[in-house]
Chains A and B, each alone.
Chain A
Amino acid sequence: MEGLNYALAALTSLPVLVAAASGVMWGILGGALPGISPSIAMALLLPFTFDMTPLSAIVLLGATYIGAEYGGSIPAILIRTPGTNSAAATVIDGYTMHQQGRGGEALGLSLVGGTIGGLVGLIFLVLLTKPLASLALMFTPPAYFALGILGLSIIASLSEGSLVKGLIAGVAGLMLATIGTDPLSGVARFTFGNPDLLEGIHFIFIMLGVFAVAELMSKVTEREDPAMDGSVGKGTRLKLPSLKKLWQLRRAQAIGTGLGIAEGPIPGAGGTVAAFLAYNEAKRWSKTPEQFGKGSEEGVIAPEAANNAVTASALVPTLSFGIPGSNSMAILLGGFLIHGIQPGPLLLTSNPNLVYGLYGGLFLANILMFAFGVVILAPCIWLVNRPKPYLTAAIFVLVLSGIYSINHSLFDLGIVLATGVLGYVMRVLKFPALPLILGVVLGYMIESNYRRSLLITNGDHIVFFQNPVSLGLLICSGLIIVLALVTEVRRYRKVAAA
């Protein structure tokens, strides 16, 4: 009941309404631009959340994520280029529908399917909140330390390419987190006498550098697509499906929503995996599987329902354990940390107004996504048709201006450019970025709980093995690393045999 009151208070709060509306609009526009992933769209807003209330800030970021997941389907359907990775599955039948003159229908299915998926996913999130909050009392400093190690292990082991590279990225992130003043002793670490580094490197600079600046660096190496003559999608009008049509597509909708809810909490899985899984399963269970790939409506609604259902269920590990499972959730975690709020087992008990207010805000965001989705198509089409160099330039200025607005320091801009170089080099050498970000974000939690645990036991490391939760989590971390190692060895042997 108390939770409902908090949610209703959020729904009737003007700052939250404005945050939800602007977040959804920005998300749809950003998602519609190929190359602007939901995480980049969210990261670009981070500097502006400093002066907002915690609830408005988190709702803004969450609404951006929701909007971007729909926005990504617009270019996917109109120009066969997914605006976001999770819209890649929508291309298959969405673009075909557009070629058949049914682009408006495809966009309508994407919008409605996504809205329903998002709302159902949110219900699931709300129902899980209380059971997960009951875990809070079991967490002591050793358990928090082990939780941080588990989070890093999972993300590193799920990294594309190489487990070793994932672990290196995680360690590098932890190393970056040690720069600054040691919170326990006050000793300056790795500041090289530079007073600007005494407070450490803010994770926002690293996120924006590694995600946004590195992306822009990749973009300048690409050539503009000559097929883009500026007339793509013009004249397309969104056509909402009738209730009868929605009933006919209920199976695909249910499959997409269910898989999105199931995939969301799994770290590293995210909207892309959920969307493709949903597409495959919708095809498997369809009465007309032969239509998939030829403009099947089920082939559009299933992946779109999945990638929007993920936006809610992906919050489960982030809010409950403080372990983000994707780049977007890492950004959202950053939004919490900016306001001094640590997501984790104690979040619901210490900030119930924030948690339930967030749910209210996300409910609002899903409804607004539907409303804006109907009217925002024309501006999106206009934006998609702009020459890419204009967008690259505008985003670069936006990033640098946004960073300056935090501390009003030119040194920070230098940090962002440097981390942009780091992010680009990591991309080229196929080092995953998420473990690095996670290392930076979780670094303080891991170190402070590690040292706090040792303070309690006078330096005896046995505390991590005596605590059952800590022991369990550390064993899980070990198993995950070992399993990932085994997989890697098998892959190596397969390559050798080929």
Chain B
Amino acid sequence: MRATLVSSGVLFALAVAYWFGADALPKSRLGGQVGADGLPKLLAISLAVLSVALAAQTLAYMRKEKRAGVAAKPVEADGGDNPHAWRSHARAFGLIAIGAAYLALLPHLGYAVSAALLLLVVSTYCGLKPSWRTLVFAVVGGAAFYIIFVRVLQVPLPAGLWPTLLG
């Protein structure tokens, strides 16, 4: 519940920022009566009102629970303050960090190598112990994706530094 309360505050701040962003849009005669800022401003107001409503709703539920003397649930429905939950979330965000690393390495290592590395790292990250099987999966998988996307579908994925290095 606390997380939802915090999120309602974040959403309100977003609504305010969005309003100012819409207000800063240049006016154009081609925009008509409403203009490019019309709908964004309406959405900003809607989001602000809804985020206040969400905060009020959440506070009302929290007050009811407190009055009823309900003990805090170990893992709240909205992701609560449980350390176990935070560890899970950190693991989930770890996948995004791996994806970001793939993004950074792709132009340099090329698609085939990057894809193989990504397969290896993600499968290990998901709990598989590093073994020759995992390595074979990564190499074969990387080759398969390369063949499908680069050779068959002709997608111009980055070749990396290899063409330069290998002449």
Contact = CB atoms under 8 A, between A and B. Distances in A.
Contact of A424 (B7, B22, B92, B120): B92
Contact of A393 (B21, B25, B78, B122): B122
Q: Which DSSP category, helix, strand, loop or mixed, fits chain B's interface?
A: helix
A175 B43 contact: yes
B141 interface: yes
Interface residues of B, number: 69
Interface string B72-87: 0000011100000000
A450 B33 CA distance: 11
B122 A389 contact: yes
A164 B53 contact: yes
Interface in B109-167: 111, 115, 118-120, 122-128, 137, 141, 145, 149, 153, 155-157
A440 B43 CA distance: 13
B157 A401 contact: yes
A408 B36 contact: no
Contact of A405 (B124, B137, B155): B155
Q: Which DSSP category, helix, strand, loop or mixed, fits chain A's interface?
A: helix
A422 B82 CA distance: 21
Contacts of A429: 3-4, 7, 78-79
B34 A459 contact: yes
Contacts of B119: 393-394, 397
Contacts of A394: 119, 141
Contacts of A174: 39, 43
Contacts of A447: 39
B28 to A, nearest CB: 4
B60 interface: yes
A228 interface: no
Interface in B89-108: 89, 91-96, 99-100, 102-103, 106-107
B71 interface: no
Nearest to A414: B103
A430 B155 CA distance: 37
Given A184-B32, A417-B103, A451-B34, A396 B118 contact: yes
A218 interface: yes
Contacts of B47: 168, 171-172, 175
Nearest to B4: A429
Contacts of A458: 33
Nearest to B33: A459
Given A187-B31, A217-B96, 16 more contacts: A165-B54, A168-B11, A172-B47, A175-B43, A185-B28, A185-B32, A217-B92, A221-B91, A394-B119, A397-B118, A420-B96, A428-B3, A429-B7, A430-B77, A450-B39, A454-B33
Interface of A: 48, 162, 164-165, 167-168, 171-172, 174-175, 178, 182, 184-187, 189-190, 213, 216-221, 223-224, 387-390, 392-394, 396-398, 400-401, 404-405, 408, 410, 413-414, 417, 420-421, 424, 428-430, 446-447, 450-451, 454-455, 458-459, 492, 495-496, 498
